[in-house]
Structure 1
Amino acid sequence: MRAAVLTEFGAPLTVREIPDPGAGGGEVVVEVLAASVPPYADEVFSGRRNYPLEPPVVPGPGGVGRVVGVGPDATRLRVGDLVWCDSTVRSRDDALTPDITLLGWSSRGEGGARLARHLHDGSFAERMRVPTENVYPLPAEAGHNLARWSSLGVYTISYGGLLAGGLEAGETLLVSGATGNLGSAAVATALAMGAGRVIAPGRNHAVLDLLVDRFGPRVRPVQLTGDEAADRAAMSAAAEGPIDMVLDLLPPSAPSSVARAAAMTVREYGRVVLMGGVGMLGGADLALPYPWIMRNSVTLRGQWMYPRAANVGMIRLIASGALDLDLERVRTFGLDAVNEAVTYAATHSGPFDRTVLTPPAG
């Protein structure tokens, strides 16, 4: 089969023939039909993000495809099934604190690295090998819009954060980083889950207008100034009432002061969920006042990715029409144009912009 291979950090991806994967016990082989290219893929492949990939490797975090082979322990998946392949792979020998790797993308700690060496390659290929528990059947209608359904990975990340914070219908949510690719997905997902209003702070006035135009008055935009105290006051005022939950999805380039200003708008007994990249590439770490957290009984939680069940929940939200993918701007590229796709994704990283690889059938 043909695949895009990262031979070394800083080098373009090379499309070449590699052996077809085979399905062993607990594994499924999927023909890749559509794989999302993250906007920051160029930062990963250049080495700037310092991701623990071990070249040579086929990158690509998840995708949509058809099952072409199943292991002997699969009881419901069948060859020909249209499926979503989740990249979040967990070790099977520790139910409480499993090691995690993101298939073809990243990993956590030495255990995650060992897992990544076994399940090495991702979705930028004609076929991929995936653990059985990471394969989720899709509704038939997904076959009419494969490229848009490949953005499931983006939405499921934000959905995982909202589940971690226990967002309930009617609540007020603040999304820190709302004008970004992940943050805008969080706005859409929260509204699909029934959020009463979503506070959307950002510096890009055009993007804030886009969010309001798309979702209406339940979105409350706030133009950030960089003055931490003033921005906190403006976000609180936009809510016109208590802010029940804050979800932070700011990128590594954002200063910690922006994350802190947003977090400290949450009400007494409110929840703050951290899913962004603040401090990951250096710079000041997030510093929240101990007395403020304690005296206001604030719940502060980190969340990396999402639980397995979030995949099912996200598929249901989209299939029901509660979350509409038809409004997304999608640009597709064939496998041979993978480097063009990576460049395009970096320059089209705004809300609801999706860059998708559509490898041909092998």
Structure 2
Amino acid sequence: MRAATLTAFGSPLEVHDVPDPEAGTGEVLVEVLATCVPPYAAEVFSGQRRYPLEPPVVPGVGGIGRLVHVGPDATKLAVGDLVWCDSTVRARDDALTPDITLQGWSSRGDGGARLARYLHDGPFAELMRVPTENVHPLPAGAAADPARWSALGVHTIPYGGLLAGRLAAGETVLISGATGNLGSSAVAVALAMGAGHVVAPGRNRAALDLLAGRFGARVSPVGLSGDEDRDRAAMAAAAVGPIDLVLDLLPPRAPSSVARAAAMTVREYGRVVLMGGVGMLGGADFALPYPWIMRNSVTVRGQWMYPRTANAGMIRLVATGALDLTPEDVTRFGLDRVNDAVAHAAAHGGPFDRTVLTPRA
């Protein structure tokens, strides 16, 4: 098969022939049809983000594919099924605190690194070996445009954060980092889940206008000034009522003061979910006042990715039309143009802008 390989950090991806992967028990083999290229992929491949990838590696984060081999332990999957491949792989030998790797992308701790060495390669290839439990059947209609459906790799992440925050229908949620690729997705997903109102702060005026134009009165955009106290007051005022949940999806380069200003808009007994990258590249720590958390009975929790069941829920949201993928801008690249795709993704990382690699095109 042909694959795009990261041979060393800082080097372009190399497209070449490699041996076909062989699926063992508990695994399936998938023909990769489409995979989203994250806007920050160039930062990962350059080494700037210091991800624990071990080159040489075929990278990528999940994708849409068709099953070409199914193991004997599968009871419902069949060769030819169109599936979503979830990159979040959990070790099977610890149900309480399983080690986790994002296949072809990242990992957590020593155990996650060991798992990544076994499930090393991701979807920037014609074929991919995937754990059986990580593939999820798609409705027949997805076959008409697998590239568009590959946005599941974006939308399922904030969906996991909103599930972690126990978002209920009619509640008000603030999305910190709303003008980014993941943040704008969170706005759309929150509304699809039944949020009554979404506060969307950010500095990108064009992105804020896009969110307001697409979703109307249920979204209140807030332009940030950089002054922590002023921005906190502006966000709280935009809600026109108590903010039940704050979901933070700010990138690593964002200062912790922006994340703190957003978090501290939440109401008494409210919830704050942290899913972003603040502090990962250094800088001041994210510091919430102890008395504020305690006296207001605020719940603060971190969430990396999402539970396995979130995949089925997200597929239902798209299949039923609750989350509409039609307005998204999708730019497709064949495998031979993988480095062009990485560059394009970096330059087009705004709301609902998808760069998709189609290895079989």
TM-score after normalising by structure 2: 1.00
Stretches (4+) displaced over 2 A: none
Partner of 1:63: 63
Matched residue pairs, number? 361
The CA deviation string for residues 133-181 of structure 1, in whole angstroms up to 9 with x for no partner, is: 0000000000111111001011000000000000000000000000000
Gaps of 5+ in 1: none
Offset of 1:222 from its aligned partner?
0.6
Distance in 1 (alpha carbons) for counterparts of 2:3 and 2:205:
40
Distance in 1 (alpha carbons) for counterparts of 2:222 and 2:10:
38
Partner secondary structure for residue 272 of structure 2:
strand
Distance in 2 (alpha carbons) for counterparts of 1:207 and 1:21:
41
Distance in 2 (alpha carbons) for counterparts of 1:201 and 1:298:
21
Offset of 1:336 from its aligned partner?
0.3
Offset of 1:332 from its aligned partner?
0.3
**What is the letter of the counterpart of residue 235 of structure 1?**
M
Partner of 2:168: 168
**What is the correspondence of 1:221-300 to structure 2 with a 5 Å cutoff?**
221-300=221-300
Distance in 1 (alpha carbons) for counterparts of 2:124 and 2:159:
24
Distance in 2 (alpha carbons) for counterparts of 1:120 and 1:222:
42
Partner of 1:336: 336
- The answer to whether 1:13 aligns with 2:6 is no
Distance in 2 (alpha carbons) for counterparts of 1:25 and 1:74:
9
Offset of 1:71 from its aligned partner?
1.2
Offset of 1:205 from its aligned partner?
1.1
Partner of 1:145: 145
Distance in 2 (alpha carbons) for counterparts of 1:208 and 1:53:
34
Partner secondary structure for residue 122 of structure 2:
coil
Distance in 1 (alpha carbons) for counterparts of 2:272 and 2:145:
35
Partner of 2:24: 24
Offset of 1:285 from its aligned partner?
1.0
Gaps of 5+ in 2: none
**What is the correspondence of 1:1-362 to structure 2 with a 5 Å cutoff?**
1-360=1-360
Partner secondary structure for residue 261 of structure 2:
helix
Distance in 2 (alpha carbons) for counterparts of 1:217 and 1:145:
31
Offset of 1:77 from its aligned partner?
0.6
Partner secondary structure for residue 211 of structure 1:
helix
The CA deviation string for residues 319-339 of structure 1, in whole angstroms up to 9 with x for no partner, is: 000000001001000000000
Offset of 1:69 from its aligned partner?
0.4
* Percent identity for Structure 1 against Structure 2: 79
Distance in 1 (alpha carbons) for counterparts of 2:190 and 2:345:
25
**What is the letter of the counterpart of residue 355 of structure 2?**
T
**What is the letter of the counterpart of residue 214 of structure 2?**
R
Distance in 2 (alpha carbons) for counterparts of 1:135 and 1:129:
10
Distance in 2 (alpha carbons) for counterparts of 1:312 and 1:360:
26
RMSD of aligned C-alpha atoms? 0.5
Offset of 1:75 from its aligned partner?
1.1
Distance in 1 (alpha carbons) for counterparts of 2:203 and 2:61:
29
**What is the letter of the counterpart of residue 122 of structure 2?**
G
Offset of 1:70 from its aligned partner?
1.1
Offset of 1:198 from its aligned partner?
0.1
Partner secondary structure for residue 80 of structure 1:
coil
Offset of 1:125 from its aligned partner?
0.1
Partner secondary structure for residue 167 of structure 2:
coil
**What is the letter of the counterpart of residue 205 of structure 2?**
H
TM-score after normalising by structure 1: 0.99
The CA deviation string for residues 25-61 of structure 1, in whole angstroms up to 9 with x for no partner, is: 0000000000110000000000000000001000011
Distance in 1 (alpha carbons) for counterparts of 2:238 and 2:310:
30
